[in-house]
Structure 1
Amino acid sequence: MDNLITPTVATALQFLLNAAAFIAAAIAMEFVAMFTHKHIMHKYGWCLHYDHHNTSGHRLQKNDLYAIFFAGLSFVLIFFGLRNGWAPMASAGFGVGLYGIGYFTFHDIMYHGRIRRLKFKPKNRYLRRILNAHRVHHATVTQKGALSFHFLWAPKKYSSENQPEVDAQLKEIREMQMMLKKQRAEKGHG
């Protein structure tokens, strides 16, 4: 009775702690990415994010530096977690990496078609909702006025049941963006 935590219980607790760190990091990354997208990429970091909204046709974009930063974060967590025997830290790094895989798969491959041979037409309601939200976001080609900063989650207002409202919002944003571009051209800024 002296020691209530047997090796089996300790192993199970360690597994649960690692699993919780993995899942929490993967979920938290959506909020970190949304915050970064809204408050850094569309503000101070627009110089790197600009080419993502105004496609240059190049295979690599300055915007890819953000993905490299988050991949580096995942690597550092995994490396130091494994090196120092901090399994929850390594697990969190793998969770960040899992989010990165999801981001790359949906955002870069499925939405932006950066691997040209892979074409994707989502039939799943969840994926169509994310696609609609991202379409609304990318209708804005200027630094300001963008909506929907999420990557792997989207509010229900972007669901296919609300397609007429989403299409109307897209039309309104595109018209506003064309007007802004025209004004900038008239002032000699673009």
Structure 2
Amino acid sequence: MNFLFFILTTIGTFLLMEIVTWLTHKYVMHGFLWYLHKDHHQPKYQHTFEKNDAFFVIFAIPSICLFYFGLLPSLNFMFFIGLGIFFYGITYFLIHDVLIHQRFKWFKNTKNKYLLGLRKAHKMHHKHLDKPDGECFGMLLVPKKYHKQYK
């Protein structure tokens, strides 16, 4: 296996994770695991953690397993799939918890049109407080109308 294959595997996995995220958010988080996600849709909570944070652990498990099996008996493609999931997880944390929900005040005053569009789309997602309603289930790819609002 060559270096280019490993890089493309990592990038491809990262990109596919947006589809996995959209499907999981719509059909799992707003489906049978709504009881874990519900508190995330409630008006400002006063706790450091919420039940929804369990999804970080749920998504980390496949990545950790892929890292492990990607090193045994020697480095293989599974490691780089795990790496793509890991990079997406870091990106998700920075976009969702830091930029959008401001759980950490690192990027409070951004003027970037793309980032403001992500924030607006997620705000529209959160206007729905119940399980069946919803829009904008993705994280990095949202309808262009949310980006066009910012000039």
TM-score (norm 2): 0.92
SS of 2:133's partner is: coil
Structure 1 residue 125 displacement after superposition: 1.5
The answer (yes or no) to whether the contact 1:25–1:95 under 8 Å persists in 2 is yes
Match of 1:61 in 2: 50
The CA deviation string for residues 70-106 of structure 1, in whole angstroms up to 9 with x for no partner, is: 1111111111101232421101111100000000001
- The structure carrying a bigger helix percent of its residues is 1
The CA deviation string for residues 133-187 of structure 1, in whole angstroms up to 9 with x for no partner, is: 1010011111121110011221102124379xxxxxxxxxxxxxxxxxxxxxxxx
Question: Using the alignment, how far apart are the partners of 1:71 and 1:102 within structure 2?
Answer: 13
Match of 1:73 in 2: 62
The answer (yes or no) to whether the contact 1:136–1:147 under 8 Å persists in 2 is yes
Larger Rg: 1
The amino acid that maps onto 2:12 is A
Which one has more relative contact order, counting CA pairs under 8 Å at least 6 apart? 2
Are positions 1:26 and 2:42 aligned together? no
The answer (yes or no) to whether the contact 2:113–2:150 under 8 Å persists in 1 is no
1:1-190 → structure 2 map (5 Å cutoff): 14-54=2-42, 55-115=44-104, 117-161=105-149
Match of 1:181 in 2: none
Q: Classify 1:121/1:153 alpha carbon distance in 2 versus 1 (closer, same or farther; 3 Å).
A: farther
The answer (yes or no) to whether the contact 2:117–2:150 under 8 Å persists in 1 is no
TM-score (norm 1): 0.74
Q: Classify 1:157/1:109 alpha carbon distance in 2 versus 1 (closer, same or farther; 3 Å).
A: same
SS of 1:83's partner is: coil
How many equivalent residue pairs? 150
Question: Which runs of no fewer than 5 residues in structure 1 stay unpaired?
Answer: 1-12, 164-190
Question: Using the alignment, how far apart are the partners of 2:91 and 2:101 within structure 1?
Answer: 14
